[in-house]
């Protein structure tokens, strides 16, 4: 059976095309993919601006959501709605921007009600990572009474979902963005304040005024440094992204003199229990109307141009990819 996929090659030169394939990766569960998504990492791969792809040729896409069509795994049966995130998809293993795939059942998560495959794609790795960040802050012990929480890169996929989850949980959320024109969008998601990213983008003092009980950071670099410098005593930062860079030109002062904690959040190889917990939190903690309001739906043929807009900072919210378009 042939199926359509977004196919990347690197011989003799880099190219991206929507083509038909008749091979599938190994795995004990076969899926009909209904929806995928476009994440920042996908955009880097599709525009060939970072060495995301490690094995060539590659089917792009770090997310897949759909329905089990056949299974040799005891935990799944035909008809199960599932989501697949991470595990090297789109990097070392053929990914989810395709109509079909196979995967080890131990990698899959059954979608908790009321989430559908389209919902799971709208959330994607970005939203699943956001949930893990929020849970890291909550495991630290943060509650709404501790004070405001800062979310950086707030108009992006991670930021939008983190903002919505925290706001629904009762936190006073401050949204850091370089797109002040999108303030109404951020307020609609629950932001109490919108903060100009420029105020965090240049070097500051190692210890600054204590403002935030916690931070969800998707940017890294100098923004993360300044965020740490403004966290209250015994507060926490969940760091999951590096959109502004991998560097961290920081001082140990906030960690030693104020006792703050920095939690690194890796969603790619997270253990099954953490994945299930994150998706359960998303199922209970996201409003369906809100989720629909942050989604832009595109087809496979639209992915390259959408990726270019994403890398140019021109995207607000989430791209859902209907793989049958």
Q: Which residues of the chain have pLDDT under 70?
A: none
Q: Note the pLDDT tens digit of each residue in 197-209.
A: 999 999 999 999 9
Same fold, 3-110+294-322 and 125-264: no
| Domain residue limits, the chain | 3-110+294-322, 125-264
> What topology does CATH give the domain 125-264?
Rossmann fold (3.40.50)
Alpha-carbon distances, residue 277 vs 68, 135, 274 (angstroms): 21, 9, 5
Q: What is the pLDDT of residue 122?
A: 94
Q: What is the pLDDT of residue 120?
A: 96
Alpha-carbon distances, residue 78 vs 22, 36, 96, 108, 280 (angstroms): 21, 19, 19, 13, 22
Q: What are the b/e assignments for 34-66, b being 16+ CB within 10 Å?
A: bbbbbbbbbbbbbbbeeebbeeeebbbbbbbbb
Q: What is the pLDDT of residue 289?
A: 85
Residue 293 φ/ψ region, left for φ over 0, alpha for ψ in the -120 to 50 degree band, beta for the rest: alpha
Class of domain 3-110+294-322: alpha beta
10: CB partners within 8 A, 6+ apart = 53, 56, 57
Residue 90 DSSP symbol: T
User: What is the 3-state composition of the chain as percent helix, strand, coil, each rounded to the nearest 5?
Assistant: 35, 30, 40
List the beta bridge partners of residue 202. none
Q: What is the pLDDT of residue 1?
A: 80
Alpha carbon distance 17, 117 (integer Å): 24
């Amino acid at each position: 059976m042939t199926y359509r996929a977004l196919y990347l090659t690197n011989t003799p030169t880099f190219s991206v095309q929507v083509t038909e394939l008749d091979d599938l990766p190994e795995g004990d569960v076969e899926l009909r993919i209904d929806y995928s998504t476009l994440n920042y990492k996908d955009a880097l791969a599709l525009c060939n601006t970072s060495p995301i792809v490690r094995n060539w040729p590659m089917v792009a896409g770090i997310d897949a959501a759909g329905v089990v069509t056949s299974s040799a795994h005891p935990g799944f049966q035909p008809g199960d709605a599932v989501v697949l995130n991470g595990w090297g998809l789109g990097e070392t293993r053929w990914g989810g921007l395709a109509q079909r795939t196979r995967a080890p059942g131990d990698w899959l998560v059954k979608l908790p009600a009321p989430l559908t495959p389209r919902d799971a794609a709208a959330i994607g790795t970005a939203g699943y990572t956001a949930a893990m960040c929020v849970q890291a802050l909550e495991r630290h012990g943060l509650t709404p009474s501790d004070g405001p929480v800062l979310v950086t890169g707030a108009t992006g996929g991670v930021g939008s979902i983190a903002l919505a989850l925290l706001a629904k949980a009762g936190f006073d959320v401050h949204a850091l963005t370089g797109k002040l024109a999108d303030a109404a969008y951020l307020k609609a998601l629950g932001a109490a304040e919108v903060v100009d990213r420029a105020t965090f983008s240049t070097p500051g003092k190692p210890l600054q005024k204590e403002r935030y009980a916690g931070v969800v950071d998707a940017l890294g670099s100098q923004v993360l440094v300044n965020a740490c410098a403004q966290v209250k005593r015994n507060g926490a930062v969940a760091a999951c992204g590096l959109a502004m860079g991998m560097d961290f030109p920081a001082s140990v002062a906030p960690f030693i003199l104020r006792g703050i904690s920095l939690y690194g959040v890796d969603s790619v190889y997270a253990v099954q229990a953490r994945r299930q917990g994150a998706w359960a939190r998303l199922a209970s903690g996201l409003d369906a109307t809100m989720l629909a309001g942050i989604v832009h739906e595109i087809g496979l043929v639209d992915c390259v141009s959408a990726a270019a807009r994403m890398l140019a900072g021109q995207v607000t919210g989430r791209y859902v990819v209907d793989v049958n378009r």
